[in-house]
Amino acid sequence: MPLFSRRPSLPAPIRAQLTLPPGDRVLVATELVGGGWAAATRRALYVVDPTLERRPWADVDRATLDAETSTLTVRWVTGTSQALALTGAGAPPFAQVLRERVQSSVVHSETVPVKGAGEIRVALRRDEDGELVSQVIGDGTTDLSDPAVAALVDAAERRVRAAAGLAG
C-alpha cells in the first residue's frame, strides 16, 4: 500500500451529499478537525461542515497551508478567505491537489501596479465547464471606477487575452 494514497476516503453519506456532475470525480479528500470533510474534485472544492459548500476552482485565488496546525487558508477571488482545519496526515496531499487544481485553471495572468493603490492581478482562467473567463483580483483597496485604474485594467485584460490567442 502506498504511503500517500490519493484514493478518496470519504464516508458514503458524505460522498452522497456531493452529487458530482457527470465527468467529475473526487481526487483527494480529508477529514476536518471537528468532523467535517473537504474534497477536491476535478471541477471544484467541496466542504461538508456540516452543510455542503461547493466552489469551482476558478473561485480560488490561492491557498496556504500552515504545516504546524494543518490549517489550510483558502483565499477566494472575492477577497474573503476561509480556514479549513485539516487532520494532520491528510493536509499535505490535500493542499498539493488543491494547488494543482487552482494552477490548472489559470491560463495566463498579469500583475498590474496601480500608483498609490498597490497592485491588482488580471487573470484569464478556465471555469468548471472549460470556458475562459477574465478576472480582476485585488486587495479591495483599489477603486476600479477610477478612469485611470479602469484603463490599466482594460489594457491588462487585452494583453492577457491576446497572450492566449483571444481577441480583446
- In the prediction, which pLDDT does 1 show? 45
Could you identify the residue written with the cell 494532520? Answer: 88
Rounded CA gap, 95 and 92, in Å? 5
Q: Is the peptide bond before 50 cis (omega within 30 degrees of 0)?
A: yes
pTM > 0.75: yes
Which numeric CATH code is attached to 12-104? 2.30.29.30
Reported as type and span, the H/E element at residue 95 is helix 91-105
Q: Could you report the per-residue pLDDT of 25-70, keeping only the tens digit for each?
A: 999 999 999 989 999 999 999 999 989 999 999 999 999 999 999 9
- Flag whether pLDDT at 3 surpasses 80: no
- Flag whether pLDDT at 97 surpasses 70: yes
Domain ranges of the chain: 12-104, 106-163
